[in-house]
Amino acid sequence: MTELVKNTGELPVAAIQDEAVSPWKEAWQTFQKNKLALVGLGIVIFFIIVAAIAPLIAPYSFREQVLADRLLPPSAEHWFGTDDFGRDIFSRVVYGARISLWVGFFSVMASMLIGTFLGIVAGFYGRWVDSLISRVFDILLAFPSILLAIAIVAILGPSLQNALIAIAIINIPNFGRLVRSKVLSVKQEEYIMAARAVGMKDSRILFRHIMPNSITPIIVQATLAIATAIIEAAALGFLGLGAQAPTPEWGRMLADSKNYLTQAPWTLFFPGMAIMLTVLGFNLMGDGLRDALDPKMKT
């Protein structure tokens, strides 16, 4: 009898332990099953490592000019060849990873913080606050993103910092509208109404209940937004509105090399490949995170 009771008591506990899997652990397990997502994660980690140890792996300074070696093709001495000033392209691409990732991370971080705050306020309080913030979002979204970024940089002046500010501004509505829609859905749940009924303060409801339930789409959007930010920074650099010479920003490198497309195609190929691979990595990783974190995507 004792053994039977023991067994009947242990079975439910074991079942509960099997079912009590952390949502984040379950998401990671789902993410690991997505081979393309793992490839994207590997690409992102690779470029982060390259950016972190750039001074150790770059054989030359990105500023060093040797006019006698201008437009040399790839070789054992210069792996990616040299540009029109005799600068080593491999060293400049390596250092350019720092700049592109820096712009991508910090511009998205700024737009995520501001957009999330505005989206939460608009969705939670509603009424005229929601109308005012939503109209601001609509105005920003009425312009093509790259044209709005060009206009902002034209007003502030061409520089890498101003390009970062412009990219952050144009991405605010994307986070704001996403978070607003999530808050509008979550605040109708019964546990939110129960929290209001017992007199819980708005700030506690926001940070303890609504924010944790809104974090998943923010993570996915942030990952995909970094890829977009890197492309936008490269576009501004190519137009001469972003990083200025001799900064080794990938878009700026493409602009400096566009006149040598037939004479020295390697001057455009390697910076362009760096942009393509980095953006591909973040997109693949973002798609994998969306599939792992979004319950609607799970089978």
pLDDT at 16: 45
Q: pLDDT tens, 232-289?
A: 999 999 988 888 888 889 999 998 888 888 888 999 999 999 999 999 999 999 888 8
Reported pTM: 0.84
Non-local (6+) Cβ contacts of 149 within 8 A are 163, 166, 167, 169, 170, 232, 235, 236
Domains and CATH numbers, the chain: 23-66+92-297 (1.10.3720.10)
- Look at the block and give the residue holding tokens 């001799």: 246
Side-chain-side CA neighbours of residue 95 (13 Å): 20
Task: Give the tokens for residue 253.
Answer: 């490198």
Has residue 296 got a pLDDT over 80?
no
Q: What percent of the chain has pLDDT over 70?
A: 88
- Rounded CA-CA distance 203/80 in Å is 54
Has residue 18 got a pLDDT over 50?
no
- Rounded CA-CA distance 106/165 in Å is 9
Q: pLDDT tens, 225-238?
A: 999 999 999 999 99
Has residue 214 got a pLDDT over 60?
yes
Has residue 122 got a pLDDT over 60?
yes
Closest by Cα among 207, 227, 216 to 181: 216
As a whole number of Å, the end-to-end CA separation of the chain is 42
Residue by residue, DSSP assigns 22-71 as -HHHHHHHHHHH-HHHHHHHHHHHHHHHHHHTHHHH-SS-TT---GGGTT
